[in-house]
Amino acid sequence: MRNQENIHQDYTTYSAGYQLSLTMDIQVYIPPHDPVRLLNQLLEGLDDKKLLGTYSDKGRNSVVPPVIMFKILIYAYMNRSFSSREIQRLCQRDIHFIWLLNGYPAPSHHTINRFRKHHLSDGVMEDLFDQFIECLHTLDEIHFKNLFIDGTKVEANANRYSFIWLKSVTKNEAKLQVKIEKLLQQVNDSYLTSYSFDVKNPLPVLEACLLNLKEKVIEQSLEFVYGKGKRKTELQRQIETLEAFIEKQIIYLDYQKMIGSTRSSCSKTDPDATFMRMKEDHMKNGQLKPGYNVQIGVEAEYIVGVGVFQSANDVPTLIPFLDSLKGRLSRTFKQIIADAGYESEENYAYLKENHQKGFIKPLNYETSKTRKYKAQLGKRENMTYDELNDTYTCANGRTLKPIEVKIRESQTGYRKEVTIYECETCQDCPLRLKCTKAKEGNSKRLEVSKKMLSLRTESLKNIQSEEGILLRKNRSIQVEGAFGVLKQDYGFRKFLTRGKIQVTVELLLLCFGYNVQKLHNKIQSHRCGQQLHPGKVA
């Protein structure tokens, strides 16, 4: 028979086989070059007033101090542990986390989640991250000179099939509004009212009409009937139909508000996420998934800036990203290095106005070197330009003259001037099919932004210089290498939190841990102060 006395919740009751010993200082078990010591030292020097300001003076104090909680989170992200339950387990068993706790009990996963969600938002995490960047500048690791920028898509914590498409919502709303107008006309004919549907503000008219119909029900003392074999009155059918229309209209308005004016889709489970095409395509069919466009800026291998955007295109992200860095850091970067995905006249003009040297590769930089590109007769680059007369000459020797100047406005509101050139005649031209797709009787046209050409030429000159070649090589090494570490080595391929604010906090925690680990690696390999990787010498 089992001895019931041995079944006890306190397992130290029957530990007679172990000798009582004095507790030693736990840090003797941690090597002197361990990165946890560097982390503890660096975070002690940060100003935590903004973090402490998120706590109330009333009620019970936190068991674990906020500064220690922050250290635990950063060290967890340094060690590729992002789940709150995993962090709780590490605080209970891992000697490094126990040393960071400094005698305090291990926090529960609820405490960790609450701290990450409620105490690091509202600019607190951004403030701590920026302080660390300034600390790296003080250590002469960051010089605010070369900023390497790149972006990647990271999947959101949302259902992959919870999509809302603006085009579909607009189409279905238009069909609904036709039915609403028909119903209102029927009500006007039946009760001699004058309700007119307002497309811009539809709900007040519909709610007023519904209220009027319900008043008529009370006046006529009608009772609504339901079920099989019951005949509904016309008034009951009108009220039920109108209620269904109002409910649908509210849903469509909510969907449009969730999507906004700059997106074409969103997710029901995470309205801030946009459906994008990811590199990780498990079904191999180009399936769109809810995600965020993550932008980072890197200097000297450190991530100095982070941005989370809802646009799948990189072009409209550059200016907001640089504006954010300008407003948060003490200095602006002198040189901006980015790939062809960021090229636009608006971005070029912004860099020039802010006295920042741009090293942006033109979109056609690689293709323009190919034989196939040079054989395309309709390309502007393959025509001869007469600067004095402002004309182009095609491969057949015919002249394209400027006929009109138009203003094109981008989605962000930027206005650019475009000159339209038209060929004198394309009739009987033997090269017509190779030059243009214009209909028979129409002539070849070119749309040219002279400002864009000037700015592109300047950027092209920059990237082809000796400095530009070195910076382009370093862009591939530093910023793309940082994404490689975060996504492949750290395994960070999907956000755990929802909403743009919480996603930004999560990303900043990851990049903070990455920077501490990078500083540790450079110290141990004696590479402190190295800004660029030298080009290979044959």
Q: Are 36 and 99 in contact (CB under 8 A)?
A: yes
pLDDT tens track for 312-340: 999 999 999 999 999 999 999 999 999 99
Q: Would you state the pLDDT for residue 406?
A: 94
Q: Would the pLDDT of 17 be above 70?
A: no
Share of the chain above pLDDT 90, in %: 77
Q: Would you state the pLDDT for residue 287?
A: 84
Q: What is the largest CA-CA distance in the chain?
A: 109
Q: Would you state the pLDDT for residue 285?
A: 74
Q: Would the pLDDT of 2 be above 60?
A: no
| Tokens of residue 82, six digits | 């992002």
Confidence of residue 141 (pLDDT cuts 50, 70, 90): very high
Q: Would the pLDDT of 21 be above 70?
A: no
Q: Would you state the pLDDT for residue 243?
A: 95
Q: Would the pLDDT of 345 be above 50?
A: yes
Confidence of residue 125 (pLDDT cuts 50, 70, 90): very high
pLDDT tens track for 420-470: 999 998 888 989 888 988 888 889 999 999 999 999 999 999 999 999 999
**Pairwise CA distance, residues 455 & 437, whole Å:** 29
Q: Would the pLDDT of 16 be above 90?
A: no
With b meaning 16 or more CB within 10 Å and e meaning fewer, what string describes 358-394? bbbbeeebeeeeeeeeeeebbeeeebeeeeeeebbeb
Q: Are 525 and 297 in contact (CB under 8 A)?
A: no
| Mean per-residue pLDDT of the chain | 91
Kindly state the DSSP code that residue 46 receives in the 8-state scheme: S
The pTM for the full model equals 0.90
pLDDT tens track for 257-284: 999 988 999 999 999 999 999 887 766 6
Q: Would the pLDDT of 373 be above 60?
A: yes
Q: Would you state the pLDDT for residue 1?
A: 47
Least confident range of 17-21, 101-105, 288-292: 17-21
**Pairwise CA distance, residues 119 & 194, whole Å:** 54
pLDDT tens track for 184-205: 999 999 998 899 998 889 999 9
Residue 68 CA: distances (Å) to CA of 39, 90, 225, 287: 11, 14, 65, 42
